[in-house]
Amino acid sequence: MVERIIYAHEHITIDLSGVKNDIDCRLDDRELADNEFAKLRAANVCGVVDQTCRGMGRNPLYAQSVADKAGIEIYHATGFYKEPFLPEECYKLTENEIRDIFLGEIENGMDDTGIKASFIGEIGTSGDYIHPIEEKIFIAATKAHGESGVSVCTHTTLGKLGLEQLEIFKKYNVDLSKVVLSHIDLSGNMDYMLRLLDTGVNIAFDTIGKNNYQPDLLRAKWLNELCERGHVGQIVASMDITRRSNCVELGYNYLLDVFVKHLYKEYNFKAKWLDEILYTNPSRIYGIGRKG
């Protein structure tokens, strides 16, 4: 097993319950969080990249407290999500004003807490096309990235529009080695995954356990093939738990207790590949894990 592990796409808190009209989409149970993070630390997890950004129920003090209690390093996000989850301010502000919000949270801290954001994410696009408001946020993010040098993580709806997102990043000369496209495992399309990876960008297999979208048996097959093709250095992994039911029924440790064991058993997955995916890559991209 990997000695140090970083979950590259998680949510310690999140609240999408209003738009979805489903209380299950609010994750804020402290006792449950403490129990789950204690299990993570016992399983050698040293870092968690928290992708909850502005308007998604972000609570930096809460998240930091959960992580500190468990002895896990947390990496906080600044950003705005996607339609229809965007707060009103997104529609009123210019690209440069949104850029300044991102830079302010990176340089000075989030929500008057003094806790600084360390990357921009998860900024998202819709399933069928990129809405103008989403493109505005992407452009603001590219500008903030250019000035700060921090990494950028995107949300792709069901793994779609990754190539379209990359066109925006290329136009503004974003360093693709510091970009992660999330949920690409949901695309179920190996040729598409390879086209993305050929650009030098990183992709995330970060909906592990969500078999209602794609079966983990296929995720494991795709992941093994991508590693065999030489792309192991561009892949990160996580579970993207966003519902209380996910947390209760699967738990964050499902990635290690079930999925990783399947990789070893069915594919004789190389230990060095797992080390890169679960530690080296997210550590490089996000600069996390230095505390051991």
Type of residue at 191: D
pLDDT score of 2 more than 90: no
- Which residues share a beta bridge with 288? none
pLDDT at 288 (0 to 100)? 76
Q: Report the percentage of the chain scoring pLDDT > 70.
A: 98
211 CB neighbour count, 10 Å cutoff: 13
pLDDT, tens digit, 9 for 90 and up, residues 68-111 = 999 999 999 999 999 999 999 999 999 999 999 999 999 999 99
pLDDT tens digits, 195-254 = 999 999 999 999 999 999 999 999 999 999 999 999 999 999 999 999 999 999 999 999
- Smallest CA-to-CA distance from 26 within 37, 15, 39, 40 is with 15
Q: What class does CATH assign to 5-286? A: alpha beta
Mean pLDDT in the chain?
95
- Band of residue 292 on the pLDDT scale cut at 50, 70, 90: very low
What was the pLDDT predicted at 34?
97
Instruction: Give 290's pLDDT tier (boundaries 50, 70, 90).
Output: very low
User: Would you list the DSSP string of 63-126?
Assistant: HHHHHHHHT-EEE-EE-B--TTS--THHHHS-HHHHHHHHHHHHHT-STTS-PPP-EEEEEEE-
pLDDT in tens, 29-64: 999 999 999 999 999 999 999 999 999 999 999 999
Going by pLDDT thresholds of 50, 70 and 90, the confidence category of residue 291 is very low
Q: Which residues are paired to 193 by β-bridges?
A: none
**Vertex 154 angle, CA 151 and 157, to 5°:** 170
Instruction: Give residue 289's pLDDT.
Output: 57
Among the residue ranges 45-49, 146-150, 288-292, the one predicted with the least confidence is 288-292
> What are the sequence ranges of the domains in the chain?
5-286
- What confidence tens digit (pLDDT) does each residue in 255-271 have? 999 999 999 999 989 99
- Categorize the per-residue pLDDT at 135 as very low, low, confident or very high, splitting at 50, 70 and 90: very high
Angstrom distance (rounded) from CA 264 to CA 201: 26
